[in-house]
Structure 1
Amino acid sequence: MPTYVAFLRAINLGRTRKFPKDAIRAATEAAGGSDVETYINTGNVRLTHPARSVAKVQAALEAAYADATGFEVPTVVFTTAELAALTARAEELHAEHDPAGQHYVTLYAAPPGAEAVEAAHALEHEGETVVVDGRAAYVLLDGDIHTSKVMASKQLTALGRGTARTVKVLRTVTEKWCGQG
């Protein structure tokens, strides 16, 4: 069976969107997943699933998560090969730009449209770089996320609804679950 990595959006934020790791594991199994593992409590899940498409796995997980929680849990799914390639790109950009601050990667269920990508690439803020590649937007900041003009920009928002992770989290889950080191 294929192995996938799912990234859940907007969970464990505040009182009403709680979805603990054990509940995530149970809901993932209810969706047909097996060999389920989680990493930290922000919604990073590894699973095997009989479906042979990312879209089918995503739909099954989102339905099971909504049933388990009573609220929508947007989920972005990658094969382990896709995640390994995405993380390799993040590492390449990180080395090129060597930000003194932070490196965030926003993950999307579908690639953002060409017009939105062009607008995001046109952003010019000193010490801040955004690169959109496939289903990911890589944001490299010399400063921090709370003062970032790129992270607060309408151009980044226009790329679509995604879920962000630090490059460190992506590196860790890729090493753990994709056999990359």
Structure 2
Amino acid sequence: MTQRYAAVLRAVNVGGTGKLPMSELVAFCEAAGFTDVRTYIASGNAVFTSALKEAAVKQRLGKLLHDYAGKPVGVMVRTAQEMARVLAENPFADAPGNRVVAIFLDAAPPPSALHDVSGLQGEQIALGRREIYVHYGDGMADSRLKIKAAAQGTARNMNTVAKLAAMAAAKA
């Protein structure tokens, strides 16, 4: 049985590092055997169909990206249903979508994640199933927030999460 997935990549096309044209990301996804591949904005977001389980999707795409970049590239994978859940379970749904991020992780964040932070200046943090939600009330530009448990994750604002959820839910 096939499944629609969304993959979000860590540190791609951010701050002049991890250059990856989205046409290349499409090619890597297709080389991994994924179909109906679409990307969204140039920050490493792809939606596709595969008969593989999540771990195999992550492993295949991760290997191709490692070979391309010469170093590991963080790949977080969610099913279409999981991406919709990330959006639906946003504890800061009343805030503007560009002020709230979901930090995607490979596993559930530890309970200590809420306490193991530095630079907190009014941001609100909440734990999800495999995400950490952060509401940047005054915006991210001046934030000094550091969340130890999020170090290997990758963040997407809720506007992007909503778009990826819609793309993953749509029939290709």
Is the TM-score greater than 0.5?
Answer: yes
Aligned pairs (5 A) from 1:149-164: 149=144, 152-153=145-146, 156-164=147-155
CA distance, structure 2, for counterparts of residue 15 and residue 107 of structure 1: 21
CA distance, structure 2, for counterparts of residue 100 and residue 61 of structure 1: 28
| Match in the other structure for 1:172 | 163
Could you say if the C-alpha distance between residues 21 and 39 of structure 1 is closer, same or farther in structure 2, counting changes exceeding 3 Å?
A: same
1:119 aligns with 2:118: no
Q: How much does 1:113 deviate?
A: 1.9
Name which structure has the greater RCO, CA cutoff 8 Å, separation 6+. Answer: 2
Task: Name stretches of at least 5 consecutive residues in structure 1 with no aligned partner.
Answer: none
Instruction: Report the aligned-residue RMSD.
Output: 2.4
Structure number with higher helix proportion: 1
| Match in the other structure for 2:12 | 11
CA distance, structure 1, for counterparts of residue 83 and residue 15 of structure 2: 28
What TM-score, normalized to structure 2?
0.86
One-letter amino acid of the structure 2 residue matched with residue 103 of structure 1: V
What TM-score, normalized to structure 1?
0.82
Could you say if the C-alpha distance between residues 141 and 171 of structure 1 is closer, same or farther in structure 2, counting changes exceeding 3 Å?
A: same
- Contact 2:4 2:47 (C-alpha < 8 Å) held by counterparts: yes
How much identity, in percent, do the aligned residues show? 29
Aligned pairs (5 A) from 1:54-93: 54-90=54-90, 92-93=91-92
Could you say if the C-alpha distance between residues 120 and 175 of structure 1 is closer, same or farther in structure 2, counting changes exceeding 3 Å?
A: farther
- Contact 2:109 2:132 (C-alpha < 8 Å) held by counterparts: no
Task: Name stretches of at least 5 consecutive residues in structure 2 with no aligned partner.
Answer: none
SS across alignment from 1:48: strand
1:136 aligns with 2:137: no
Could you say if the C-alpha distance between residues 22 and 101 of structure 1 is closer, same or farther in structure 2, counting changes exceeding 3 Å?
A: closer
One-letter amino acid of the structure 2 residue matched with residue 119 of structure 1: H
